[in-house]
Chain A
Amino acid sequence: MNTLPSIMLLGDIRDLLDAVVLARGEDMGMKIERAYCADLMSDVLAFSISNSLLITGLTNTQVIRTAEVATIKAIVFIQNKRPDIQTISLADEKKIPLLVTDLSMFDTCGLLFEKGLRSCSGLEF
């Protein structure tokens, strides 16, 4: 039962979630080791760790600012919530890849967890 957490490539995450890439398509070789999901940006600032993947339903520019200061590597927007052009161009400027999936928050997290991706809490299952 004691399996090591998986490292996933962003491109594999895109395929698994059947996601569309909105920014930084050239970064699909990026390695993702941890993930955090929230719609509260203060929670992201408090509990995420460096270089993790953010899964969220918020699409405003503050999400990109939050990702920038919290050194989040990439963002997945759930339930086909698409950010506006300002948000996308800010992400592009800050070199933060953006993906959008039709899946719900629960299904997105569930699929990634099933593949071995783990949270920022440090807990292993």
Chain B
Amino acid sequence: MGSTEGVFFLTGKDFKNAGSASSSLKGILEGMGIPPAIIRRVAIASFEAEMNTIIYAVAGMINYCITPEMITIRIQDMGPGIEDIELAMKEGYSTAPDYIREMGFGSGMGLPNIKRNADTLTVNSIIGEGTTVEFIINLAPGE
């Protein structure tokens, strides 16, 4: 059994297209016949990570890899980096400016929402270089 892989490129502050990569990813998963409840988890986690990149970074990309066992999503950005990852994982903690909050984001639920939907989540960040968020959602065949 093979795997399906691909990449989407993201541009920082491109709010007009924010979410379109996760929307395309959702379409790909639907086309593969992945169960809707799994697709919802992948799409929500991917959308939060995509919004984080659009809000904070200059640019970024979403890599996806779908195998019969799992869906792996890696979002790499060229952004400011996260100073305290533990703090950023706390619900309600945010460094977003007001204009982001006015758009309905930046309420400090981004990383917590990714964690909530993922089976495993890894966040690596270097200040001044960027952040890589990788999450896996198991497809658990036979369950």
A and B: real partners? yes
Interface of A toward B, CB cutoff 8 Å: 39-43, 45-46, 50, 56, 58, 60-63, 65-66, 68-71, 86, 94
Report the separation of the CA atoms of residues A58 and B107 in the bound assembly, to the nearest whole angstrom. Answer: 14
For A71, give the chain B residue with the smallest CB separation: B40
> Could you write out 6 A-B pairs with CB less than 8 Å apart?
A40-B109, A46-B113, A50-B36, A61-B18, A66-B104, A71-B36
Name B residues whose Cβ lies closer than 8 Å to a Cβ of A. Answer: 15-16, 18-20, 22-23, 26, 36-37, 40, 43-44, 46-48, 51, 103-105, 107-110, 112-113, 116
Write out the residue numbers on chain B whose beta carbons fall within 8 Å of the beta carbon of A58: 103-104
Nearest 9 A-B pairs (CB), nearest first?
Answer: A65-B19, A42-B109, A69-B43, A41-B104, A40-B107, A69-B47, A58-B104, A45-B44, A42-B107
Least distance between A44 CB and chain B CB atoms (Å) = 8
Per the bound structure, the CA–CA distance linking A113 and B113 in Å amounts to 27
Beyond contacts A40-B104, A50-B40: 10 other A-B pairs, Cβ-Cβ < 8 A, are A45-B47, A46-B116, A56-B104, A61-B18, A62-B18, A62-B105, A65-B20, A65-B23, A69-B19, A70-B43
**Bound Cα distance from A45 to B43, whole angstroms:** 10
A40 to B101, CA, bound (A): 8
Q: Which residue of B lies closest to A65 (CB)?
A: B19
Report the separation of the CA atoms of residues A45 and B45 in the bound assembly, to the nearest whole angstrom: 9
CA distance A71 to B36 in the complex (A): 9
Pairwise interchain contact A65-B22, C-beta atoms closer than 8 A: yes
Report whether over half of chain A's contact residues are helix, strand or loop; otherwise say mixed: helix
**Cα separation A60 to B40 with both chains bound (whole Å):** 21
- B112 contacts which chain A residues (CB < 8 A)? 46
Residues on the B chain within 8 Å of A46, using CB? 109, 112-113, 116
Q: CA–CA, A94 to B108, complex, Å?
A: 27
* B19 A62 Cβ-Cβ under 8 A: yes
Which one of B37, B40, B107, B110 contacts A70 once the chains associate, using CB atoms below 8 Å?
Answer: B40
Minimum CB distance partner of B50 in chain A: A65
Give the docked Cα–Cα distance between A69 and B15 (Å).
Answer: 16
Contacts of A50 in B (CB 8 A): 36-37, 40
Residues in chain A near residue B37, CB distance under 8 A: 50
Q: Which residues of B contact A56 (CB under 8 A)?
A: 104
* Contacts A45-B44, A69-B47; A60 near B23 (Cβ below 8 A): no
